[in-house]
Amino acid sequence: MRRKEVYDPRRATRVVAVATARRAGRQGILWGLVFGATIAASASSYYPTWPTAASRAKLALSFEGNAAWAALFGPLRRLDTVAGYTAYKSGMFTIILGAIWGLLVATRVLRGEEDVGRWELFLSGQTTRARAALQAAIGLGVGIVALWVPTAFLTAAAGGSSKVNIGLGASLFFVTAVVAAATMFMAIGMLVGQLAATRHDANLIGAGALAASYLIRMAADSDSGLNWLRWASPLGWIEELRPLTGSRPFAFLPIVALVAVLLLASVRVARRRDLGASAFASRDAPRPRTLLLGGQAGLTVRLTRPTVVAWIVALAATGLVFGLVAQAAGSALRGARGLERAIERLGGTGIGAATYLGFVFVVAAGLMAIAVAGQIAAIRGEEAAGHLDNLLVRPVPRWRWLAVRLGVGLGLVVVASALSGLAAWVGATSQQAGIGLGDLLKAGLNVVPPAVFVLGIGGLAFGLWPRGAIGVVYGLVVWSFLVEIIAAAFDSNHWLRDTSPLLHIAPVPAADPNWTAAAWLVGLGVLAAVLGIAAFGRRDLVGE
Amino acid sequence: MRCVAVAEGPPDSYTRRKGRTREISVATAIRTEELSKTFGQTKALVSLNLEVPEGEVIGYLGPNGAGKTTTIRLLLGLIRATSGRAEIFGIDAQADPVEAHRHVAYVPGEATLWPSLTGAETLHLLGRVQGQVDTAYRDLLIERFEFDPSKRVRALSRGNRQKLILIAGLMSRSDLLLLDEPTSGLDPLMERTFRECVKESRERGQTVFLSSHILAEVEAVCDRVAILRAGHLVEVGTLAEMRHLSALQVEADLDGAMPDLSAVPGVSAVEVDGSRLRCQVAGSVEPLVSALAAAGVRHLVSREPSLEELFLAHYGADGSEEGTPDAA
Ligand SMILES: Nc1ncnc2c1ncn2[C@@H]1O[C@H](COP(=O)(O)OP(=O)(O)OP(=O)(O)O)[C@@H](O)[C@H]1O
Ligand SMILES: [Mg+2]
């Protein structure tokens, strides 16, 4: 029996807008700070790294027109200016991260909440579903504004400083371009959230769209004859905006059109489909596959397989791309004074393909840390959703369940890093970079220790503080990234560096692995995991 | 095997039991000693002392938030006791849950299964994890509950999910069934099938601990009933005993003037409507009958409380203590 004021559907759907705005807004601000810091750090590192006009000219000469680089980061323009360098250094990174965030937050709001049945509380009748989708869109819009404001503030502040000097208009145009990518993929997330059967499926479809649009623009940027292909990719439109290198606002037209069409479509679909159901007919009664369902370990493999395989493929592909561009990139690095110093400090010598690879494998370590954090989130998700109850009311020891889950995370890390090393070798060898397979396998496996550390800390957090575990482990990852950015900007032996597990690894293959640091990271990670397993055995199971 | 010695006796002996002999605890399926659970400020369960002999079907009743689910999750070791002890067939359920779970099947009131698995896959998995399945019985259950195991859990209705988790629990033929509102969402036909299954389980010597809000279900299948309120066990006994111990409802039509009943022992809830009198009486009816006889009775009806009245009296925030011989 509802009371009358609760029944008012308009009031009820407003709850959806407010809840969405709160979630998206909070996350938007956080990511806005990360983006702003990234852009500011890139801009302010320009003159310290390339102090002379000659070094800047050389930088521009070696990178502009480098097809491999353009394939990765988009076309590079005006690298002899701080604006062009900032666009190259922080553009693709923030654009991709923004797109991923937009996708995830949209499917979370439009699908995740619904999957757990929360929306049914608010909705009744046919029209309210469409209205709820619209309200959710408004809430997501608040998230976009929340992303824009801190990014714009930090970018404008850095651009306005006398050491950088980028015009305010150009800065804001750049920030808007970055946020436009997030907006487009948010709208894509809204629509696929309505179409797919579950949030998980929606994320996969959205990720596919993102990958396709990245690959199309990759092809477009690697050969000048294919430049027109850029117009076939949403990420290509962002490139056509040419932020910081001669703004071209007309490229906003397809962006705005796409967002409008997707919004309209998702509201229409929302009106027509059943709550909790998919607009696509999905196979609800597949042939039973019981091969893996003989026990808890097999179940874990079955449940985590899609994510684990996706990460392994992604990391191997990353390694391959690193390998492919290593030779060209290595020779271009000569003249970057800051880099040389940084390499010496980390125990490396010289400049070349190996140096380049040594540096970029830190990126692989970061990706690995994100993958591991995702495993911790999945572990906690099993408990929060109550799925774990079904196992633990049967003769399954708690320690074994958690050990197997963490073991899957470890397996993911080891396989993915070995494959990324192997793929890097394949790529590098095809370009005659002359780096041995052993060295590159070592480079790949070099990222295992920090990932084990993150996994262990995640296991400990899960054992002690289940509701906070996801926050702790993602917090650790974000913190490591921030420290990396800050450390890069100040180019110093700052104590902050020591708090990031990612920065304790040596730039293999440019240097030998730092065995001591690796042993510490692995040791602490294993210890934390063991303590986490013990703590998990002694606590209540807690739901959401 | 039914252990009669434990089942008998006045209800309050269940709330004050210590140092029982070893013999009896062997035949005891569930035994808790001062079992307590506190969540932050909330005392979800306070010093529960309960014994359930092997082979018994016991109903576990109480208003929402009384602590029924908490008790069951403590018995399963899913949550840690703040103090006290819980045993299943003599095994410490908190210290050695894995060993205890070899004897237990659990059916929750809300199925939280993996949405991507089909019904058949779920049954296969849970059977393997449990380590024992009576496959013929499983197939019989699927047939009786008219369950379609080919669909993904995601595509099942709420009632069908409940059937699935019910089949998953019953198919192991475990010695002890811990059922927490197992029929929520089931239609009346399936509800009846469930009762038949519980009766069969009892015939096979299985012990059943049934928490439920459906009183007819409890009345139909349970040997004994325990009532919990705000974390306290307020009553344990057979339904006959509980009826016997609670107040009688008395209705009388009087000829003469209404007598003053305030001094009559055991009488309460007096209502007067013209010449008609309604009241409750606990303990002996003799003083009331003589008082009424003196006033001149035309017509007198007395009846035992219905099951529902019995429980409503216990569930209510007040007005229950008169009917409760042991103020627990
Ligand atoms: N994880 C928890 N955290 C905090 N409080 C809890 C938790 N679980 C239960 N409680 C509290 O403990 C008390 C008993 O809850 P319990 O779930 O055992 O009730 P119940 O008898 O099963 O009720 P219902 O009939 O509604 O299922 C309630 O006050 C509840 O709010
Ligand atoms: Mg309950």
Pocket of ligand 1 (CB under 6 A): B 39, 42, 44, 62, 64-70
Q: CB B78 to CB A397 under 8 A?
A: no
Q: Which amino acid is at A372?
A: V
Q: Give me the pLDDT at residue A163, please.
A: 82
CA angle A71, A77, A82 (to 5 degrees): 120
Interface residue A286 vs chain B (CB under 8 A): yes
CA distance A451 to A446: 10
CB-CB neighbours of B204 under 10 Å = 10
Q: Could you say which residues from 205 to 224 on chain A have a Cβ atom under 8 Å away from some Cβ of chain B? A: none
Nearest-Cα residue of chain A relative to residue B39: A540
Pairing of strands B224-229, B248-254: unpaired
Phi, psi of A369, rounded to the nearest 5 degrees = -65, -40
The whole-number pLDDT of residue B6 equals 39
Report the separation in Å between the CA atom of A338 and the middle of ligand 2, taken as the mean of its atom positions. 64
C-alpha B320 to ligand 1 mean position (Å) = 22
Partner residue opposite B78 with nearest CB, options A296, A299, A389: A389
Q: What is the pLDDT of residues B87-133, one digit of tens each?
A: 999 999 999 999 999 999 999 999 899 988 999 999 999 999 999 99
Q: Does the distance separating the beta carbons of B76 and A394 come in below 8 Å? A: no
Q: Which domains does chain B have, with CATH numbers?
A: 28-241 (3.40.50.300), 247-303 (no CATH)
As a whole number of angstroms, the distance between CA B314 and CA B228 comes to: 9
User: With 0-12 CB in 10 A as exposed, 13-18 as middle and 19+ as buried, what is A131?
Assistant: buried
Domain boundaries, chain A: 291-319+361-482+513-544
- State in Å, rounded, how far the first CA of chain B is from the last one: 30
Across the interface, of A289, A295, A385, the residue whose CB is closest to B128 is: A295
CA distance A384 to A287: 29
A295 touches chain B (CB under 8 A): yes
**CB nearest A296 (choices: B108, B118, B129):** B129
With CA atoms as reference, the chain B residue closest to A389 would be B78
3-class state of residue B208 by DSSP: strand
What is the crossing angle of helices A353-384 and A337-345, to 10°?
A: 70
- Which residues are close to ligand 2, an ion, with C-beta < 5 A? B 69
**Which of B87, B109, B116, B99 lies closest to B27 in space, CA to CA?**
B87
Instruction: Give the pLDDT mean for B309-315.
Output: 72
pTM over 0.80: no
A120 contacts on B by Cβ (under 8 Å): none
How far away, in angstroms, is A59 Cα from ligand 2 center? 68
Atom number in ligand 1 closest to CA B70: 18
Q: Which of A358, A327, A516, A512 is nearest to A431 (CA)?
A: A327
CA of A492 to the centre of ligand 2 (A): 58
Atom of ligand 1 nearest to the CA of B181: 27
Residue in chain A nearest B95 by alpha carbon:
A538
Residue keyed to tokens 């198919």: B171
> Which residue's alpha carbon is at the smallest distance from atom 6 of ligand 1?
B39
Task: List CB contacts (< 8 A) between B151 and chain A.
Answer: 284-285
Angle at B47 between CA B43 and CA B53, to 5 degrees: 130
Query: Which residues does chain B have within 8 Å of residue A395's beta carbon, measured at their own beta carbons?
Result: 98-99, 101-102, 129-131
Task: Return the ligand 1 atom nearest residue B63 CA.
Answer: 25
Calculate the alpha carbon distances from A399 to A124, A305, A532, B127 in Å: 44, 21, 9, 21
DSSP codes joined into one string, B148-180: -TTSBGGGS-HHHHHHHHHHHHHTT--SEEEEE
**pLDDT for the residue A343:** 59
Evaluate the omega torsion of the peptide bond into residue A509 and state whether it is cis, within 30 degrees of 0: yes
| Interchain contact, B78 vs A390, CB within 8 Å | no
Distance B107 CA to ligand 2 centre (A): 12
Backbone torsions φ then ψ of B76, nearest 5 degrees: -90, -5
Strand residues in A84-139 grouped as ranges (E): none
Q: Whose CA is nearest to atom 4 of ligand 1?
A: B39
| Interchain contact A274–B (C-beta under 8 A) | no
Interchain CB distance below 8 Å, B150 and A290 = no
Write out pLDDT tens, residues B216-237.
Answer: 889 889 999 999 999 999 889 8
Rounded Cα distance, A258 and A512, in Å? 49
pLDDT digits (tens, 9 = 90+) for B7-59: 333 333 333 344 444 444 448 999 999 999 999 999 999 999 999 999 999 99
| CA dist A411 → A253, A311, A414 (Å) | 46, 12, 5
In angstroms, the CA B240 to CA B232 distance is 22
Determine the distance separating the centroid of ligand 1 and the alpha carbon of B68, expressed in angstroms: 8
With 80 as the cut, is the pLDDT of residue B173 above it?
Answer: yes
User: Closest approach of chain A CAs to the CA of B68, in angstroms?
Assistant: 16
Burial of A121 (0-12, 13-18, 19+ CB in 10 A): exposed
The one-character DSSP state at A125 is: S
Which chain B residues touch A198 with a CB distance below 8 Å? 115-116, 154
* pLDDT value of position B78: 96
What is the pLDDT, as a whole number, of residue B119?
95
ipTM summary value: 0.80
Using CB atoms, which residue from B126, B152, B154 is nearest to A394?
A: B126
Q: Are B123 and B145 in contact (CB under 8 A)?
A: no
What residues in chain A have per-residue pLDDT under 50? 1-6, 125-127
Closest Cα to atom 7 of ligand 1: B39
Q: Where are the alpha helices (DSSP H) in chain B?
A: 4-7, 12-15, 22-26, 68-75, 97-101, 119-130, 135-144, 158-170, 188-203, 215-221, 239-245, 286-295, 307-315
Determine, for residues B126 and A284 on separate chains, whether the beta-carbon distance falls below 8 Å.
Answer: no
Compute the distance from residue B225 Cα to the ligand 1 centre, in Å. 20
CA distance B178 to A422: 53
Q: Which of B70, B234, B315 to mutate to test the pocket of ligand 1 (most atoms within 8 A of CB)?
A: B70
